[in-house]
Structure formats: structure tokens, C-alpha cells
Amino acid sequence: MLRILLLVICSIFIFVNSTSSSLSVHDNFIRCLSQNSPPHLSISKILHVPSNSSYSYLLESFAQNLRFSSPITPKPLFIVTPLIDSHVSATVICCREVGLQIRIESAGHDYEGLSYTASLPFVVLNLINLTSISVDLEDNSAWVESGATVGELYYRIAEKSPVHGFPAGICPTVGVGGHITGGGFGTMLRKYGLAADNIIDAHIVDVNGRILDRESMGEALFWAIRGGGGASFCVVLSWKVKLVYVPPTVTVFSVARNIDQGGTKLVHKWQTIGPKFDENLFVRAIIDAADHGGNRTLKVTFNSLFLGKADKLLDIMNESFPEMGLKTNDCNEMSWIESVLYFSGYSEGSTIEVLRDRTPQRKNFFKAKSDFVKEPISESVLEELWKWCLEEEKPILIFDPFGGKMDDIPESEIPFPHRKGNLYNIQYLVQWYDSETAESTEKHIDWTRRLYEHMTPYVSSSPRAAYLNYRDLDLGSNGDDKTTTTNYHQTQSWGLMYFKDNFKRLAIVKGEVDPQNFFAFEQSIPPLILNEEERNRAKKKQMVWFY
């Protein structure tokens, strides 16, 4: 019944653009929000409508991908910026009550803009005012609210200790909420795994507006939100993260070589040794185009963090990768928090205060895709890949090595399944800056699609694997189908790519906690509702824990 009601309300809203019906959804939402918020806090501070200047500020400053910041991008009816947890509950309850979609936004880095756009009438729940972080060194943990960025988390940890850190993403402006719930990896993944592997508790708001922790949500849901994409299940309010040890001195380097001056051979060898190095060593390879007085060539940059001192690093490299010719003066010793700045491209001399700055250094239009590589790619195929890159204006390929700790964690431990057997992850990224014509936008996107097609034989298959945090709607979409009949079998084509065998288990958890599919969006997990017999079978196979 609720489903039909929601459909009716939404349809009226879309098709009968009369002020009376849109006014009533509008007014009902506001009335509901006031009724469900604590009386001492007026909702006028947390509710933003298009006529408020804060509305466009919040939309524009958060949208990281300019592709979804155009006048034709669908905009929310309201943006709600909760100050306390019960505001989040109220927003969930009221979106359900009046039949509006909800979009949860922590820091807006979603590659396809799914945290701030939707095709049906919607509300953006923006967590900008839920950013507190408390670090507890004695417990080796920290509670961090979803609206904080990973840069703020790193900063708060470093403020208290030079030998503690957290293994999450490289870009400091990434939001803790979206990033961790999608997996999250950076320079310490070979030593400590993903951000989602290092979560010990969480607070959420469920579909009924209840505030729950690990114990009260149960292990099934707690499993699902660590890598399965929380927005399909609930709103994550905060995470309790496990701090990890970092040595007082780490070493970084960046060594660049032209592709046509031996670079290809280095990349070819890197494929087999990058994932096998000592787990304290992370060396990624970034391929991009360089201009030499009008001659365009490609270069590869080996960009590295070593959790230790330079002399030890030089020994390792001399032994395993002498071809690269790493020299003493390529190496920079520093603290771990300084290495965070180094990797995020801040200029030398920046203080760590910049990590508290939420605005990205620059924004652009972009499209990305991802792959996992299990067998080294031959030199001749690499050469072909470089030719593709020379066709595109600003292509970037990022090869992140796996192995180490990633090999030790079972595929079903959390929903992120890309573990043992993967040598490295590829991100194919194209960026463009000016607001070019729609035609040229199409041209850039088309390039990524053709390249992806071309790479099919050389990367993981059955399923071809993809990383959720590099979201790609080309893989498949639920479209506007926000009904409970969103078909599990139809969504398998992309679900298996992100989650492999964990997809079914995610769908079962979804069927348990949100059977009406309120938390629905283009790539949300569909509810798989089991009958009694299937439930018992699943239980026996320990596919899922029931309450």
C-alpha cells in the first residue's frame, strides 16, 4: 500500500505541475519535519528551499563532478542540514510520509552525482553539520561523524599522536560517510586493508527513523554497510574506527619516466612486483600525458609511500626493482601526516591545517571506470593502451597495487570482494575543465566506453569486477524503478561486478531491513524477499544472520 501511495504522490507531482499539489507535498514535508524535530531547535536553520541563498551554495559547493552541476540537472525540493541525530530521523520519517526520495550526501564525491541528483522529486540530506571527531588513544579508536572528511579525520588523529593513523583514501576532501560505506582505500591498503575493514561500530538511522548501533542493528546490517553502500539500507550517522600504527618516520617518492624511454618495461615489471612487495611498501603507477614543447608523450609516475626509513626502502628497491634506479635524493623522509599532504598534491610548505579545508583544490568534469587485473598485461597490450591514451586530451590511468593484507581477508568478510588473486586496480579517468559543448562531453565519455570495451580480454572476467566507490552507471541502473519489484535478477549484471557472491547476501539483508525499498536510487541493492524454505536454506548455509 505504501508503495502505491508513494507512486501516486510522485506521479501527481511530476505530471500535474499545478501549484496546489506541489504545495501540499511541500507544506506537508515542512509540517512533518517540525512535528518530528525537538521543539527547542527551530527547523528554519536546517531547512533550505530554492529561494534561500544557502540552497545553491550547498548544492554547488558540494557537487564534485561538474557534469552534475548544470542548469538541467534535477534539483531537490529541499536540502536538510541536520544539527543532531534526531533531525536525520525526522527527515527519513517525513520523506517516507510524503513520498519523496531521499539522497544522502556526506561530501558529494559520488562519481555519478547520486548523492545530490535524482529523477523523481527528492530531498537532499546534507551532513555538513555532523562532522565531530573524537579520538581515544587509550582505546585505539575514534568516533567520526559521516559529514567529516577523511582529511579532517587524519588531522584530528595526528593532532593527538605521531604514531597513529587510519587507512582510508588519498584525497582529503572525500567524505567519511560515502567513502567508508563503499570500501575506501589509500596508501596503507597493503598493510591494513580498506577503511571498511577497520570499522568496529557504527550509528545509523534505519528506515523507521530509529537510531541504532552495531548491537541493535544486528550483524547482518552491520556487515552490509561496510562496503555494500549504506545508502541502500540506512543513513550512517557515524563510524567507530580502529586506529592503526604508523611509524614516526615514513618515506615517500615520485619517480617519473617517459613511456617511450623505458617506461613500458617498468610498468610491465611493476605489475608483478607491486602487489608482492613488503606490505609496508605501496607503489602505485599513474600514467598521464606530458607535453614537451608541443610534442605530446605519455609518462608514468611511480608514486610511493613506505612505512619506514629511506635506507631500508632503498635496499628493497635495489633488490626488487633495480630497473627503476631509485636514488637517495628521490626519497623524502617525513611524518605520516606530512605524507598525506604529499599524496594529495599540496605544495611544499603547506601546513597540515589545509586538511581541514573541505573545498577541493580544483573541480572539473569527469568520467571514470574501473577494472581489476589478475594476470599481468603484456608489453604489446600496454603499448596499445598508451596509443588509446594519446587520442584523448587529459586521460589518467591509476594503477593501485593490491596484495599484502588484502590477500589475507576472505571475500565474504565484508561486501567488498576484490581480494586474493587481484594484482591491481585500474581507474580510467578522463577530465575536462571548461563547459564544453554537450557534443564534446559525449566525446570524452565515449572514449572511456570504447577503451573499456577494448580492455575486456585483459582484465578480470565472469564477472568483470568493478569498485563501488568509482561508481559507473554504464554498468547498469535501476532507472526510475523505485518499486519493490526492482528485480534482483535484472540487477545482477552490475551487482555481481561490484560485489560478486556478496551481492545476493546484500539483497537478502535489504529484503529484511527495507522490504518496501524506501532507500532506492539508480544503483541501490534490490530487496530479495525469501520465503520460509529459502530462508531456512540460507540460514543453514550461513548466508545471512537473521534477527
Ligand X SMILES: *[C@@H]1O[C@H](CO)[C@@H](O)[C@H](O)[C@H]1NC(C)=O
Ligand Y SMILES: Cc1cc2nc3c(=O)[nH]c(=O)nc-3n(C[C@H](O)[C@H](O)[C@H](O)COP(=O)(O)OP(=O)(O)OC[C@H]3O[C@@H](n4cnc5c(N)ncnc54)[C@H](O)[C@@H]3O)c2cc1C
Site string for ligand X, 283-322 (x = CB under 6 A): ---------xx-x------------------x---x----
Which span sits near ligand X by CB under 6 A: 6-14, 46-54, 70-78, 268-276? Answer: 46-54
Query: 319 or 453, CB closer to ligand X?
Result: 319
What does the alpha-carbon distance between residue 417 and residue 519 come to, in Å, rounded to a whole number?
23
Query: Is residue 129 within the footprint of ligand X (CB under 6 A)?
Result: yes
Task: Report in angstroms the alpha-carbon separations of 411 from 209, 421, 499.
Answer: 31, 11, 9
What does the alpha-carbon distance between residue 460 and residue 448 come to, in Å, rounded to a whole number?
17
Residue among 87, 179, 367, 369 that touches ligand Y (CB under 6 A):
179
Return phi, psi of residue 402, to 5°.
-100, -145
What does the alpha-carbon distance between residue 265 and residue 253 come to, in Å, rounded to a whole number?
19
Query: 257 or 482, CB closer to ligand Y?
Result: 482
Size of the chain in residues? 547
Amino acid identity, position 307: L
User: Chain-centre distance of CA 206, in angstroms?
Assistant: 21
Query: Is residue 151 within the footprint of ligand Y (CB under 6 A)?
Result: no
Burial of 105 (0-12, 13-18, 19+ CB in 10 A): buried
For the bound state, the minimum distance from the C-beta of residue 330 to ligand Y, rounded and expressed in Å, comes to 23
What residue 129 binds from ligand X, ligand Y, none (CB within 5 to 8 A, per partner kind)? ligand X
Query: 159 or 260, CB closer to ligand X?
Result: 260
What does the alpha-carbon distance between residue 466 and residue 381 come to, in Å, rounded to a whole number?
21
Query: Is residue 52 within the footprint of ligand X (CB under 6 A)?
Result: yes
Which span sits near ligand X by CB under 6 A: 40-48, 177-185, 266-274, 524-532? Answer: 40-48
Segment 65 to 104, residues that bind ligand Y, using CB under 6 A:
103-104
Residue among 36, 89, 91, 181 that touches ligand Y (CB under 6 A):
181
Give the angle 132-350-279 at the CA atoms, nearest 5°: 75
Query: Is residue 426 within the footprint of ligand Y (CB under 6 A)?
Result: no
Written in H, E and C, the secondary structure of 295-316 is: EEEEEEEEEEEECCCHHHHHHH
Residue/partner pairs of 329-334 with CB below 8 Å, 24 or more apart: 330/253, 330/254, 330/255, 331/251, 331/252, 331/253, 332/251, 332/252, 332/253, 333/249, 333/250, 333/251, 333/309, 334/249, 334/250, 334/251, 334/252
What does the alpha-carbon distance between residue 479 and residue 130 come to, in Å, rounded to a whole number?
30
What residue 460 binds from ligand X, ligand Y, none (CB within 5 to 8 A, per partner kind)? none
Segment 111 to 130, residues that bind ligand Y, using CB under 6 A:
111, 114-115, 127
Query: Is residue 261 within the footprint of ligand X (CB under 6 A)?
Result: no
Query: Is residue 431 within the footprint of ligand Y (CB under 6 A)?
Result: no
Residue among 90, 118, 142, 231 that touches ligand Y (CB under 6 A):
231
Segment 127 to 146, residues that bind ligand Y, using CB under 6 A:
127, 146
Segment 178 to 207, residues that bind ligand X, using CB under 6 A:
none
Query: Is residue 186 within the footprint of ligand Y (CB under 6 A)?
Result: yes
Amino acid identity, position 219: E
What residue 186 binds from ligand X, ligand Y, none (CB within 5 to 8 A, per partner kind)? ligand Y
The residue ranges that bind ligand Y (CB under 6 A) are 64, 103-111, 114-115, 127, 146, 169-171, 174-175, 177-179, 181-182, 184-186, 230-231, 235-236, 469
Residues in contact with ligand X by the rule CB under 6 A: 44-45, 48-49, 52, 54, 81, 83, 128-129, 292-293, 295, 314, 318
